[in-house]
Amino acid sequence: MKKMRAAILGCGVIGKFVADHLIDGAVPGCELAAVYLRSPQSRGREYLESKNIPWVTSLEELMKFSPDVIVEASTHDTVVAMGPEILARGVDFIPLSLGAFVDPGLMETMTEAAAKGGSMLHIPSGGIGALDALQTAVLGGVEKVTMTTRKYSTTWKGIPAVDELGVDLDNLKEPLLLFEGPARECMKKYPQSINIGAALSIAGIGFDRTIIKIYADPGVKEFNTHEIKWEGPAGKVTVLFENTPVPENPKTTYQACLSTLLVLRNMTGRRVIGA
């Protein structure tokens, strides 16, 4: 049986994780075709060449490898610039930089492109889950969705919105509320750190009605935690995720990496659970 061919945009922590697992056969029925890098100087080049993985620096070159699906593990700008074209050319697309969808017109553009190309846009759960239950609840009406995220204090270093607060993250003694408000505003202030808020908003009641709280917390060094709550006619739900950060980039968790593999597995299999 012919294997599904997957390509990857980007070769950072998640890109390497997906590439390694595809090479190792973690997703039966799926093979790695090639990887896109923004330039020959990209840091992932050495890794790719050590694994004999083909790499390119343009979407046109990537398409020559005949991918069936392309995983974006790069930036929000990459989602906007390449996503619609990929879908319009009949290739499925799995974006991981979901904060890009804070642009109110992007989802419609992607959907129209997928309809034109006969392809599919796949939204992964990332570092959270229970999105199937949330989507089910939305059918009956959901009045409120909130998520409280806690990451270790110094994980928030180097983020302009945090730097502006002038907080000494190295010596923080108790949890500090960094943000509370609509997911749309959160995405703009923390674009690289809270993509799960975008996944929650897309699955639920939108960016403007989903409320996000973010804490720098010296007490959660071992895990990144996300407590999600929603309520409506179907009832009330509270879900807590305690995710292990990836050492190379504590802003990313293994759960987020693994969720990409699950999407690929569902695409190659003959059953989907929880949908």
Catalytic residue flag (residue 122): no
Residue 133 · residue 204 · CB < 8 Å:
no
- The one catalytic residue among 21, 76, 122, 226: 226
Residue 56 · residue 36 · CB < 8 Å:
yes
Residue 107 · residue 175 · CB < 8 Å:
no
Residue 4 · residue 92 · CB < 8 Å:
no
Residues 87/90/96/102 CA torsion (nearest 10 deg): 20
User: Token match 């080049």: residue?
Assistant: 45
CA distance 224 to 127: 9
Indicate which residues carry an active-site annotation: 226
